[in-house]
A = this chain, B = another copy of it.
Amino acid sequence: MKTETIEYKDGATTLRGFLAYDEKASGKRPGVIVMPEVYGLNDHARGKAQKLAELGYVALAGDPHGNGAVHNSLQDAMQAAGPLMGDPNNARNRMKATFDKLASLSQVDSSRIASIGFCMGGTLSLELARAGAPLRGVVSFHGGLQTQRPAEPGVLKAKLLVCTGADDPFVPAAQVNGFIEEVNKAKADWQVIIYSGTGHSFTNPDASKAGVPGVAYNKAADERSWAAMASFFKEIF
């Protein structure tokens, strides 16, 4: 497997993504964007990109903050994410830049692209779908489901798979229900999977380090949601 840092631009901001793919494979393959948790492009997202490359996809872990910035404290990360999460235009532009970079790669079949994301990365992936990007699918793992600019019928094209914890304090049932109402209005093809006994950040083995109640790794939910994604990709690609 080959991994490399690739640079791309969102306006004046330089983004440093992490690309992973099987360099021995030939022909164009589906591409998958991997958007990290709020901390930035860290080892968690890199590891997921490498696992996707093992499944045969060309995976680009995106750089949400720019310049490859990674924040170790949740407070710093939230502050850095402010402009991105506060304005859907910013979120969508950053995601479109990531999509365009992945679509431009010679190994990638640009008609077969999906975006997955964790925590803020799930939210960003859903924003890209709401913006009408020609994605085959989006998978959100413990991502926030709210938006300032709801999906519209005919604009949102991606099939959506939302994997969420029943006990996630940042994505409570009311938020899940609001999302369902939104994407029903947009006539989307969606699936929501709810996992018992599961909090926020359940795919991240280091989640508990943040020391935030309701934020914890859950091995069963991590493995189940990854299997659900793999099955979903078989369907859409």
Asked if A175 is an interface residue, CB under 8 A from chain B, the answer is no
Nearest opposing residue in chain B for A198, CB measure = B191
Asked if A43 is an interface residue, CB under 8 A from chain B, the answer is no
Nearest CB of B to A204, in Å: 20
Are the CB atoms of B235 and A223 closer together than 8 Å?
A: yes
Nearest opposing residue in chain B for A195, CB measure = B191
Stretch at the interface among A32-40, A73-81, A88-96, A177-185: A177-185
A contacts with B, residue count (CB < 8 A):
25
Residues 151-208 of A contacting B (Cβ, < 8 Å)? 166, 173, 177, 180, 183-184, 187-197
Asked if A224 is an interface residue, CB under 8 A from chain B, the answer is yes
CB-CB under 8 A from A173, the residues of chain B are 177
Asked if A220 is an interface residue, CB under 8 A from chain B, the answer is yes
Nearest CB of B to A237, in Å: 14
Asked if A26 is an interface residue, CB under 8 A from chain B, the answer is no
CB-CB under 8 A from A188, the residues of chain B are 196
Asked if A106 is an interface residue, CB under 8 A from chain B, the answer is no
Are the CB atoms of B193 and A197 closer together than 8 Å?
A: no
Asked if A105 is an interface residue, CB under 8 A from chain B, the answer is no
**Interchain CA distance A173-B192 in the complex, whole Å:** 13
Asked if A70 is an interface residue, CB under 8 A from chain B, the answer is no
Are the CB atoms of B193 and A166 closer together than 8 Å?
A: no
Contact of A194 among B180, B195, B228, B234 (CB under 8 A): B180
Asked if A25 is an interface residue, CB under 8 A from chain B, the answer is no
Nearest CB of B to A176, in Å: 9
CB-CB under 8 A from A190, the residues of chain B are 196
Return 26 A-B CB contacts under 8 Å, by A number: A166-B180, A166-B184, A173-B177, A180-B194, A187-B197, A188-B196, A189-B196, A189-B197, A189-B220, A190-B196, A191-B193, A191-B194, A191-B195, A191-B196, A191-B224, A192-B193, A192-B194, A193-B194, A194-B194, A223-B235, A224-B235, A227-B231, A227-B234, A227-B235, A228-B228, A228-B231
Binding site for B on A (CB under 8 A): 166, 173, 177, 180, 183-184, 187-197, 220, 223-224, 227-228, 231, 234-235
